[in-house]
Amino acid sequence: DQQVKQNSPSLSVQEGRISILNCDYTNSMFDYFLWYKKYPAEGPTFLISISSIKDKNEDGRFTVFLNKSAKHLSLHIVPSQPGDSAVYFCAASDIIQGAQKLVFGQGTRLTINP
Amino acid sequence: EPEVTQTPSHQVTQMGQEVILRCVPISNHLYFYWYRQILGQKVEFLVSFYNNEISEKSEIFDDQFSVERPDGSNFTLKIRSTKLEDSAMYFCASSIMDRVSYNSPLHFGNGTRLTVT
């Protein structure tokens, strides 16, 4: 099942710089996209989401961009902080399947270097 | 901030045994879910539950699996006869609404690591 793909398994960024995490999807029925952050031994924690009717949503240091024609979304974190080091999951929900039956990407491990 | 709690954090069982994983969803949430993540693989949907019945389930959720809300606070996942391939991290989640929205993201617990030997 490759409906949601995060092609970079890991990313290393200097503290204070911008972190950009990418996600691609194939199912055009997806209408809502979410980013979750996961620390070891914890469950995924909701970060930010975007509806398919928007192309940008911002919340503090986190911004999600959606490019529907390219079926691509990205999460920007600026400035990056050491506490941002975690695994980031992109997830999508579709109109037909509905609801909170989320389809997840494989995750990208972000490391922020001091 | 209210959170979803799961017990135990780690469960080891022998193949063929029954296990029950327990969850206490956030108190004002109405929709409950189980997801799982096999080591090295994606987080995947198992089942959703509302109003004391299953509302959706994946093809993974076969007859070996069942869910129950035995009282007003607990939500359980039972695996009747565990197999080696059931070894995974199992996440319980809850939400206020059944539709994903900015106001109703899925809240996950910290998971139960199930090891089947």
Nearest residue in A to B92, CA atom: A43
What's residue A95's pLDDT?
56
Tell me if A102 and B56 make a contact (CB, 8 A cut-off): no
Closest residue to A32, CB basis, from B42, B44, B100: B100
DSSP 3-state of B95: strand
Tell me if B100 and A104 make a contact (CB, 8 A cut-off): no
Distance from CA of B39 to the nearest CA of A (A): 11
Optimal mutation site among A3, A25, A101, A108, interface B, most CBs of chain B within 10 A: A101
In this structure, are residues B73 and B27 in contact, taking their beta carbons and an 8 Å threshold? yes
Q: Exposed, middle or buried: residue B62 (CB in 10 Å: 0-12, 13-18, 19+)? A: exposed
What's residue B106's pLDDT?
86
Optimal mutation site among A47, A100, A103, A108, interface B, most CBs of chain B within 10 A: A100
Tell me if A49 and B102 make a contact (CB, 8 A cut-off): yes
Tell me if A42 and B110 make a contact (CB, 8 A cut-off): yes
Q: How far, in Å, CA of B34 to CA of B94, rounded?
A: 9
* Per-residue pLDDT tens over the stretch A54-113: 999 999 999 999 999 999 999 999 999 999 999 999 999 875 555 578 899 999 999 999
DSSP 3-state of B20: strand
User: Chain B residues with CB inside 8 Å of A44's CB?
Assistant: 43, 91, 108
Determine what percent of chain B falls in helix, strand and coil, rounding each to the nearest 5: 5, 50, 50
Q: Is B31 in CB contact (< 8 Å) with chain A?
A: yes
Tally Cβ neighbours within 10 Å of residue A112. Answer: 21
Question: What is the full DSSP assignment across chain A?
Answer: --SEE---SEEEEETTS-EEEEEEE--TTEEEEEEEEE-TTS--EEEEEEETT-SEEEETTEEEEEETTTTEEEEEESS--GGG-EEEEEEEEETTT-TT--EE---EEEEEE-
With tokens 């990313």, the residue in question is A11
Tell me if B56 and A106 make a contact (CB, 8 A cut-off): no
Distance from CA of A108 to the nearest CA of B (A): 11
Beta strands in chain B (DSSP E): 5-7, 10-13, 19-24, 31-37, 43-50, 53-57, 65-68, 75-79, 88-95, 107-108, 112-116
With tokens 């890991």, the residue in question is A10
* Per-residue pLDDT tens over the stretch B71-113: 878 999 999 999 999 999 999 999 887 666 655 788 999 999 9
Integer-rounded Cα radius of gyration of chain B: 13
- Dihedral angle sign, alpha carbons of residues B58, B63, B64, B68: positive
* Per-residue pLDDT tens over the stretch B3-25: 999 999 999 999 999 999 999 99
